[in-house]
Amino acid sequence: MAEAATGTESITVREAIRETLSEELGRDERVFVQGIDVASRGGTFGLLEGLGEEYPERVRNTPISEVAIVGSGLGAAMTGMRPVVEVMYSGFLGVPMDQILNQVAKLRYMTDGNVDIPLTIRTQNTSGFNAAAQHSQALHQLLMAIPGIKVVCVSTPADAKGLLRAAIRHDDPVIVFEHAGVYNREGEVPVGEYEHRIGEAGIEREGEDVTVVATQVQLWNALEAAERLAEEDVSVEVVSPRTLDPLDVETIAGSVRKTGRCVVVDETPLCGGSQSELATVITEEAFFDLDFPVQRLGVDDVPTPFSPPLEEEIYPDTDDIVTTVRQLA
C-alpha cells in the first residue's frame, strides 16, 4: 500500500470521490474525466459538482452514448492519457460491452504487453431507490469473469479515496463499482496522498466466532449486524474484499481459518453471483478449518421490482445477516 498521509478526517464516500478526482486532475495533466453531464450537473447524483469549473478543459460532457464514452476513453488510454470515464449505472454497461469485453480487457495481452491501458471506468450499483429493473442492479460478478480487467467495489470513504486513486494510477484497466446506497456514508479517511493497493482485502471489524464477508451496502449491514450480535456474546469478524479481481484470498481465508464459520453476503444473484465464487474459493482454501458449510446471502433470481415492498423483499438486509450468523454460532 502506497500512502503519504498524516492523520485522518471524517468525510463521506461522495466527498472522497470528488476530492480524489480533483487531486489527481491537479497532479497529472494526462488525467481527464468524461461522461454524461459530468461537467454541467456533476454526473450521476451530482458527485462531481463543481469539478467542471475547476478543470474546464479536462472534465468533459459527452453525448448519451456509452459506446463513445468507453471507446474514446480506450483510445485515449492507448495513446498516453489516463482517462476516467463514467457510465451512469452498472446496468448501462451492456451498451459498451463489446469495447469492455473484447478491447479494453484484451488489448494489453494481444499486444504482448507493449501497450498500457490506464483506463478507469466508474459506474454504480444501485438498490433501495425504487428505480426499477434497468437501474437497480449490481453487475460486478459479470466483470469478474472477464480476464484482463481489474474489478474494484467501493464500500467506505477510505475505499473510495484509496482505491479510486490506485485505479487512476494503474497501467491496467480498472472498473470501479460504486454504490448509490453508500455515497452519503461517513467514515475516517487518511489525510493526504493515500491509496489502497488493488488486490488487498481489509478486516473492518475483528471477531472470533463467525466471519462475514460483505461488499458495499451489505458491508455496512454486516457491521450493524455485528454490533447487535455482540450483545448476544457472538463475536463477528467483518471482512471487506475491496477488490474482487484480483481477489485477496489469503486475508479472507485466514479469517475463516480463525473463526471456522463464514457467511458471504453480496447484492448479486446467488446463481453465478460474487458470493457464490467467494464461497467456493473459501471452501477450497479453508475446507479442513470449517465447522459448517459457507453460507451465502444474495438477491433473489428476479429482476429488481419497481414496487418498494417487493424490492425490499428480494435484497438481503441486517436482519438476514443476524439470522444466518445465529444459525452458525
Retrieve residue 63's grid coordinates. 453525448
Residue 169 in contact with residue 115, Cβ under 8 Å?
A: no
Q: Please give the Cα distance from 113 to 133 (Å, whole number).
A: 39
Residue 138 in contact with residue 125, Cβ under 8 Å?
A: yes
Residue with cell 476513453: 73
Residue 137 in contact with residue 300, Cβ under 8 Å?
A: no
Residue 194 in contact with residue 165, Cβ under 8 Å?
A: yes
Locate all alpha helices (DSSP H) within 105-156, ordered by sequence. 107-110, 140-144
| Positive or negative: CA dihedral 222, 227, 228, 229 | positive
Catalytic residue among 135, 140, 179, 196: 135
Q: Under DSSP, is residue 159 helix (H, G, I), strand (E, B) or coil?
A: helix
Q: What is the DSSP string of 218-230?
A: HHHHHHHHHHHHH
Name, in order, each residue with C-beta under 8 angstroms of 245's C-beta and a sequence gap of 6 or more.
143, 144, 149, 150, 151
Residue 161's φ and ψ, nearest 5 degrees, are: -75, -50
| Active-site annotation holds for 140 | no
Catalytic annotation, residues: 135
